[in-house]
Every structure is written in structure tokens, then in C-alpha cells.
Chain A
Amino acid sequence: MDELLSEFLTESFENLAMLDVELVRLEQNPNDPDLLSSIFRTAHTIKGTCGFLGLPRLERVAHSAENVLGRVRDGEIALTPAAVTLVLQALDRIKFILDQLEATEAEPPGDDAELIDALNRAADGDMPETQTPPPAETATAPAAVATMAAEPESDPMMEGEPALLKPSDAALEAAAAAVDEPGVVGERSGSSVAAQSLRVSVDLLEDLMTLVSELVLTRNQLLQMVRNEGESRFKGPLQRLSQITSELQEGVMKTRMQPIGNAWSKLPRLIRDLSLDLGKRIELKMLGADTELDRQVLDLIKDPLTHMVRNSADHGIETVMERKAAGKVEHGTITLNAYHEGGQIIIEIADDGKGLDVQRIGQKALEQGIVDAAELESMPPNQVMQFIFKAGFSTATTVTSVSGRGVGMDVVRTNIEKIGGHVDLSSEKGRGTKLTIKIPLTLAIVSALIVEAGAERFAIPQIGVVELVRAGQQSEHKIEIIDDAPILRLRDRLLPLVRLTTLLGLTNDAGLEHYEQAYVVVSQVGNSRVGLVVDKVFDTEEIVVKPVSPILRGVGCFSGNTILGDGSVVMILDLNSLTGSLNSASTEAGEPLDTQQQRGTESTSLLLFRASDRTPRAVPLGLVTRLEEIDLGELEESCGRAVLQYRGQLMPLTDIHGSTSLQGEGKRPALVFTDSNHNMGLVVDEIIDIANDVIDVKVASNAVGTIGSAVIAGRSTDIIDVAHFVQSVFGGWFAERESEPYRADEVPRTRRVLIVDDSSFFRNLLGPILSANGYDVVKVDRATKALELRDRGELFDAVISDIEMPEMDGFTFAKTLRQGGAWADLPVIALSSHTTEQDLQRGRDAGFTDYVGKLDREALLAAISHSLELQEALA
């Protein structure tokens, strides 16, 4: 295609996209003169460029649209929705013609008389929907428009030889620059701006990127060679070369970065049109539009994003009537929010609509045979919602032009996972739905840990690695085998382990002897952690990710491959899918468990066991310090209670019924719970398994020692209340503990603590722990409810809040508290399963006093006690 024409097309498409956005904004603020001028200018530029290239049909449509805008700008006609629709229609026509032009390099034949006529009539103030009377000075107006239209960039050339003239690039760029630079209407000063930026073809950038990648690899090889030589005269120059290469790499990476707003530019128009089509009132909020990401990533998420926003508008937001009936504000809001977090980009799409109808989704899943009734019965709502990601799934009862065709969310998820991202979904009936997408910043170069397993090397992207632990029988981090499953004790936590060689099918033998000297790569996948056992760990390297050859794509557990500094090829492990196979292997049914289903909500590592009957029981692994095998014959008795000599102490034991007088013989497993330096043992019949699952307590229990029942690994399981057992054994023990609640000397009053957590499990777990420690506890499941308590004048000494909650997350909650009100200075402690440095920083920025990992009760108690102390000291 003619270079000039192709440049014109690119530029015009950009201008049109900009117009779309600005017009919708204008409709909301019809009195913004700057906006209006900018729109007028853009329309004018399009018209002007059409004139240059001799495209009469385009020019006529553009001219009429510009006419209307000109009259609006001059205050001669009012901007009504009808007028905006008309102008938007004109833009669509222009787009259509441009599309044809792109395909055939010629203007398509066609008649725009009707549209032009409508536009002209609108310019004269003649619109059926308009209430504005035609302006008095109609006669003078066209003249004014004509002068304006002919004014700046285009006039001399246009009047000369419009069809034949090929304008210089400078002239074209000047036209483009007028768009970039607001406030230069009618002046030719735009060219200085044009000189500062230029269009480069994407292919060229891609080639550059590939070349730089090769350069990085060669540099790495050279570095390795020189390193091996010891003293070398190449050292100096090589260092310089290395540095320049790094800078070059960074520079080229930057050229590929684009603000995410580029992917959003079509959305305001989309939402506007949808609102009209669907008879809804929808406001679109876009936050963090300048967040930058790799254009390759941007391209790949553009369509999924549009789809999700469209879904929110169509399925999520209710009609005005429905909203009124539900007592909500008339207009629904869709919020897009993008931000960087830990080398990833997080994009949230939230609406305040009606939320997902779990029942209907379940029903539909049943009809489509995705699930059977019994399974559905036992599924937590969050898991049911995940069905919308299944192929061919749509709950829309009627197929609208907007959505409900049953293609979409599965494609959305596939596309996002393809680039190493993933989608989370949360929804609450009547309150809205929120989709969270996490995607890597760039696909090209990542930092990776090089490890060895089974005499082969692999790269693990650093992003999934939490820490490295050297474990062994002699090391402080001991690996133990429980029911054939290896477990690492890591700072009083138990971490399930899996050998990389086994996962990859390199060896099949298990057993303790393999863990004599092991390196454990603690990896975070979704919300669960797993320890990957490898034989050796080399250093970390910046690697250039290359996609695996098509012939290897079916293998699945690799996200790519790369060439290391020494020239050898290594495979890059895809932790998501590797752990996916881990999950499927650990499900009893052997049926591949969709890992995505687990990511929907927080999953917890659970220890499953049996005691006294066949019902499986579970306890969060984080609460169990050790697992011991005890010989009932060796038990001693103290004050009528069974005790065991254990690590120089007497450890009281109990069974599942709370009976402390244990009878019987033979060896039995016992779960050891530790609090400070006190141990207690719960004697059980059998350890079954360790499972990663979402705890969703289905049936709250009144039975002593049980929090309730949940479905774990596909079976109904009782979740035991550890606090109950600890209390039953120790009784008054908590009163003497070091981390007792802080009490100011003279004022022996009970401290009041508010727990805000949407998970009933954690509320139920923390409640007893805190009460047992002498706090008066109030629990709510929403940040908004907490704010209601505040506004009602309730007083607390400290607030403990979860981070991930529907409606209002912990960060917003903390910020809101800090903004003022009675609780502005209260200690607020964040409770989260994510405790990376970034999380901590974000927590502090939001105004949290402290940030504690979930299940880390010791830290929590210390944090409360400490904050209260501090508070008291300040008062």
C-alpha cells in the first residue's frame, strides 16, 4: 500500500478512537469549552487530511460532522444526546469508509446523502429530539463555519489541486501534531512536536527486540567464558559492553511499553452505545489508565477486556427500574482499575450490578452436564461461579446482540492464561461482580532461578518463587514424611513438598533418603504454597523467554525455553500447570481438578485425619506444629489426665471428644499444637492426607470442638476448632502467657477488638483465640458493616481486618478509617495470606498499623498487644 495512505489510515483511526472517547466525555460535560475545541480540532484534522489525499466521500461526511460540532462550539446549537448520536454515526461511517479504503485502497462507492442531510439539518438546529429553538442568526452561521473549516493546515493546498497533490510528510505530521497539542488551532507551530516523536512499525520493534535478546545471550556467554578464565584483558571492555547491552535492552523494552489506556479507548463509546441499546444508565470509571505494559501483552488482553466490560454492562448492571426497586442509585458504575504490583499488572473490572446468580449458574451447569446434582450440592458458591469460564456456558435466557452467545468467558480465560496471567472472580448477589486479572508486565525477558533436578537443569520464573530453603535431616528445617507425603517444617508452618523429578516423571522413587540434602523452592501458585524439592540451585539469570516449538506444546508443563549463558538450552517451568498436575494427583477421585476453581477464593492447606469415626476431619496445616506417633502404652497420668514426656516437658493429650483419660494400646498418630512453648497433643486414629482446598463452612456446628462442615477434596469434612482443644487441656493457661492482652496498670478493663473478615472460617477461628486471650470480640463480615458500627458510635480498641473482601477491600477500609471519624487513630491490623514486601508496603500506605499473615496467631496476638501498648503510650 502507498506509504502515505497507510500513514493516513493509522493516524485517522487513532483520531477517530480519540473522538469516540471525547464525545462521550463531552456528553457528560456539555459545557467544557476546552473539550469541545479539542473535538472540533480532531474532526477538522480528519477532514483536512481527507482533502489532501483526494478522498471526496470521506471529506463530505467529515465536513458535515465538523459543521455540527462547529455550531455547538460556537454555542449556536445545544449539544443533545441526539446530536452526539448523529456525530457518532458520522464517525462510524468514516470508519467504515476507512476500513474499505484499507482493504481496497479506494473509496467504496456509496451514498451518504441521507446522513449528510441529517447532519446539515442538525447544524441548522433542526433535530426532532432537540428542545433548543433554532438560533436567531442562522443566516450568518454558515459563513462562520466556512471560514473555520478553511482556516488552518489545509487551505492553500486544498484549493490548488486537491486530487493530485501528494503532500509532504511534514504537512501531514503538522496535521497530526495539531491533534497532539491542544491549543494550537490554526497555527503551524505543531511541527516542533512532530519532530519529537515518530511512528515506527511494530515489526521493526519486534526485530529489534529479537536482536537485543540475542545480544543479551551472547553477552552472557562471553561473561561466562571470561569468568572461567580468571584474569583476562577482555574484562574491562566486556564490562562496558555488558552495561551497554543492559541499557539497550531496557531501552528497547521501553519502546514496547504502552499505557493500558490505549486498550481502553474504545470502552467509553462502547458503554455509551450499550446504555442506549439496553436502556440502562451506566457510568464508566477508568483508573490507572497510564499504567504501562508491553504492547504484545496489551494486544492480547484488549479483546478479553472489552468482552468483560461488555458482560458487566449487559449482565451485571440492572436497568434503571430494577435498580430503583433494589434501592440503588439509578446509574450503575463499571470501574476499571489498573496498577502495578510485584512485577505484575493487576486489572480489575468491577460493577455494582446484580452480581452473579449462583443458582442459575448451577442450574445451567446441571443442564449442560458439567456437574452432577450431588457435586453441585456440595460446592461452595464461589466454585459454582467458576462455571462461567466453561466453554459454551451462558446463562442469558435470551441471546441479545450484546452477549449471551455462550462464547466468551472461556476464551477470555484461555487468552489470559496463555500469556501467563490468570483471572479471579468474586461476586455478591445484589452487590456486583469483580473480575481481577493478573498478567506479567512483559513476556520477553524474565528473571529466573536455575535449578537442577535429575541431572537436568530447569528455569523457574522468579515471580513464583517465595524463598529458597536448604533442608535436610541435620538442618534446622527438617523434612518429615507423613503418610508417605513429605512435609517441611518451616518456621512452625508445615509445607507440603513435591519433588520436581517426580512431577516431571524423571524418577519415581520416594522416601526419606531422598531428602537428606534437599533444596526446597517455596513457590506461590495462586493462593497456595508448595515446596518444590530440587537437587541443586544455581544462580538467578535474566532469561529471554522463547516459546516452545509447536511440537512440544502438548507437553504443557513448560512455559517456554531459553538459552543460558553457557549456550545450553533449558526448559522454563510453568508453575501453574505443574501445580495443576499436583492438585489432580492429590484429589482422591483422580479427576483433574481445575486449578482455576481453587483460585477463585483463598485455598488453605489442610491436614485431613480420622478420629473415632469414619468422618474425615480437617485442621488448617498452619495450626499444626508437628505430627507425632505416640505409644499409648507409654502414657503417664497426671492429675487424672493423660500426659506424655515430650521434649523435656509434660505434654497433655486429648482425644477428639475432649477426653483426657486415654485408654488403649499401640501406636497412634497425634497432632501437636503449640502455643508459645506449650505443646498439646490431639490423638487421632489415622492421618489421611494433606489437601489444598477452599474452606467454605457449609454447616455451622454446635458440636463442641467443631467449627462446622465443609467439602474438602470432594468429601464432607468436619473442621475442628483447635482453640477448643487447647482450652480444654490448659484451662487457665492463657492468663499466664507472655502475650497476654495489654492492660494499662490502673484500668483493668477488657479490650474490645473488631474482626472484619468475609470468611466465616477465619472469623470462627480468630474469635475463640482472641476471646481466650481476654479480648472482647465483635465479628463482622464486611468492611461496610464495620463502618456502620463506627457511625453508630460503637467503640473499639483495635480493628483486625482481612484484605481481600467483596464490596470494600481492606486497603480501602483502612484508608476510609484514617480519613476521619471516631476510629481515625485506632490501631488497624491487616490480616492476609499475602505477606510479601509489596503487600506490607501497600498495607502501610493504606494506613494499617501492622500487617500479619493469616493463621499466624502468635504474630497476631503480639501485634494487637503491641499496638494497644503504643496507643496507650501516645494517649
Chain B
Amino acid sequence: MSAVVMDPQTRIVDNELVSVWLGKQLVGLPVAQVQDILGPQQITHVPRAAKEIAGVLNLRGRIVTAIDLRARLGMVARDSAIAGMSVVVEHKGELYSLLIDKVGEVLNAPLDRYEQDTSALSADWREVASGVFRLDAQLLVVLDVGRVLQISGITPAGQLDR
């Protein structure tokens, strides 16, 4: 069962999460939105798209846009030695694949360790984080998928050969 409680600011906190690793950072995604976990995929690059968009891939006949979560969070690119994985999430009826280093586990984060104030995080992280769980081993930053997908930048059109 997904334990959903109201926090003091009467915001719904979803504590059932899929944890994933980006380098040494642990990040959580709401289980309800996660559709699939995939191994390394063949991704088609999309020219002129924003740098956070890794490309598009074929998920059993559906075309899914892949988001490079490291780029989205302003982190350095992944070490090419790590193959990488993706978490497929659903948002407004569309599927998106979030590229991560590796997947952690499905967990019920303790609600008493929840911190909604994300002001301690850097600007890039604040933009997409909905809260932080202070786990024993380390902090787990919960991402708001909707905000992760708010990507606007488009690389300007190429210049002509002249």
C-alpha cells in the first residue's frame, strides 16, 4: 500500500519511491509514475533539441523521449564506462525515459524523515525537487516528474554553408 499522508502544509507526500543513482547521489521517483526500468537502449539523437533531451527510443513499438537526468540536473556527463539505465515514467499520457546511472530499490521512505524545504539544494536541483528524505545512510532527493520535464531550451538553427 502506498502510504499517503498529509504533511503540515497539507501537501500530499508520496513516500513510495523508486530510488536511482546519479553518481553518488540518491534520487527518488514516485512509484506510481514509474512504468518500467530498462537497461541500455539504442537512442536516436534529436538534432536541435534541448541539451537535456538525449533523444528518442523505441519502447515496444511506442516512441519515447529520453531525458538525460544528469544534464537536467546540471551534472557532468556520465562516465562512458557505465552503461546506464533508464526509468520510464508517465506524464500526462506520454511516456518519457529518464536516463540514470543505475537503479536502486523500491522503498517506503519514513515520513518522519521528510523535509519539504529544498532551499538547501543548488538552483538546478531546487527546480525539480519536491522534497528530501533524510535517510540514515544519505539524503534522498524526491523529484517532481512534471518539473523535470519542463524543458524549454532549443538549440538555434544551424547556419548555412556560407
Contact = CB atoms under 8 A, between A and B. Distances in A.
Given A546-B63, A569-B58, A552 B161 contact: no
Interface stretch (A40-48, A146-154, A440-448, A500-508): A500-508
Residue from B53, B61, B152, B155 having most chain A Cβ neighbours under 10 A: B61
Given A508-B158, A508-B159, A552 B61 contact: no
Contacts of B47: 454, 456, 504-506, 557, 571
B161 A485 contact: yes
Given A561-B56, A567-B58, A484 B44 contact: no
B24 interface: no
Contact of B48 (A498, A504, A567): A504
Interface stretch (A247-255, A579-587, A594-602, A844-852): A579-587
Contacts of B92: 550
A456 B159 contact: no
A570 B96 CA distance: 17
Interface of B: 42, 44-49, 53, 55-58, 61, 63-65, 67, 92, 94, 96, 149, 151-152, 154-162
A217 interface: yes
A506 B44 contact: no
B46 A552 contact: yes
Nearest to A509: B161
A457 B42 CA distance: 13
Given A505-B155, A551-B96, A551-B149, A217 B61 contact: yes
A581 B160 CA distance: 9
Contacts of A562: 63
26 contacts: A456-B45, A502-B158, A504-B47, A505-B47, A505-B155, A505-B156, A505-B157, A506-B47, A506-B158, A510-B162, A549-B94, A549-B96, A550-B94, A551-B67, A551-B94, A555-B49, A555-B154, A557-B48, A557-B157, A561-B44, A567-B42, A569-B55, A569-B56, A569-B58, A581-B157, A582-B160
A794 interface: no
For the residues of B in contact with A, the DSSP-based class is: loop
Contacts of A413: none
A502 B159 contact: yes
Interface residues of A, number: 44
Interface in A559-578: 561-563, 567-571
A552 B65 contact: yes
B46 A555 contact: yes
Contacts of A506: 47, 158
Contact of B63 (A502, A557, A569): A569
A553 to B, nearest CB: 10
Contact of A552 (B49, B156, B157): B49
A563 B58 contact: yes
B159 A569 contact: no
| Shortest beta-carbon contacts, A-B, top 10 | A504-B47, A505-B158, A510-B161, A549-B65, A581-B157, A569-B44, A484-B162, A585-B160, A569-B56, A502-B158
B6 to A, nearest CB: 31
Residue from B44, B92, B154, B155 having most chain A Cβ neighbours under 10 A: B44
Contact of B56 (A214, A218, A571, A581): A571
A281 interface: no
A567 to B, nearest CB: 6
A838 to B, nearest CB: 31
Contacts of B154: 554-556
A571 B44 contact: yes
B61 A214 contact: yes
Contacts of B156: 505
Contacts of B56: 549, 552, 561, 569, 571
A486 B160 CA distance: 10
Contacts of B155: 505
A783 interface: no
A568 B65 contact: no
A498 B57 contact: no
B109 to A, nearest CB: 28
B58 A503 contact: no
A194 interface: no
A214 B56 CA distance: 17
Contacts of A501: 158
Nearest to B65: A549
Interface of A: 214, 217-218, 454, 456-457, 483-486, 497-499, 501-506, 508, 510, 546, 549-552, 554-558, 561-563, 567-571, 581-582, 584-586
A855 to B, nearest CB: 24
Contacts of A214: 61
Given A486-B161, A504-B48, A555-B49, A563 B63 contact: yes
Contacts of B61: 214, 217-218, 563
A454 B48 CA distance: 13
Contacts of A555: 46, 48-49, 154
A118 B154 CA distance: 64
B161 A497 contact: yes
Residue from B44, B47, B63, B151 having most chain A Cβ neighbours under 10 A: B47
Contacts of A551: 53, 65, 67, 94, 96, 149, 151
Given A498-B160, A510-B162, A546-B63, 14 more contacts: A504-B158, A505-B155, A506-B158, A510-B161, A549-B64, A551-B96, A563-B58, A568-B58, A569-B44, A569-B57, A569-B63, A571-B56, A584-B157, A585-B157
A483 B161 CA distance: 10
A570 B44 contact: yes
A484 B162 CA distance: 5
B68 to A, nearest CB: 13
Contacts of B65: 549, 551-552
B44 A503 contact: no
Nearest to B43: A569
A557 B154 CA distance: 11
Nearest to A501: B158
Residue from A218, A505, A552 having most chain B Cβ neighbours under 10 A: A552
A530 to B, nearest CB: 11
Contacts of A502: 158-161
B160 A571 contact: no
A486 B63 CA distance: 36
Contacts of B152: 554
A277 to B, nearest CB: 43
Contacts of A582: 160
Contacts of B58: 563, 567-569
Contacts of A483: 162
Nearest to A562: B63
A503 B45 contact: no
Contacts of A561: 44, 56, 63
Nearest to A563: B58
A568 B42 contact: yes
A484 B160 CA distance: 10
A456 B157 contact: no
Contacts of A585: 157, 159-160
A582 B149 CA distance: 30
Contacts of A569: 44, 55-58, 63
A484 B161 contact: yes
A741 to B, nearest CB: 42
B72 to A, nearest CB: 12
Nearest to B47: A504
A501 B159 CA distance: 10
A240 to B, nearest CB: 22
Given A549-B94, A552-B49, A498 B149 contact: no
A649 to B, nearest CB: 32
A571 B157 contact: no
A456 B48 contact: no
A67 B89 CA distance: 62
A556 B56 CA distance: 15
B33 to A, nearest CB: 15
A27 to B, nearest CB: 48
B111 to A, nearest CB: 32
B149 to A, nearest CB: 6
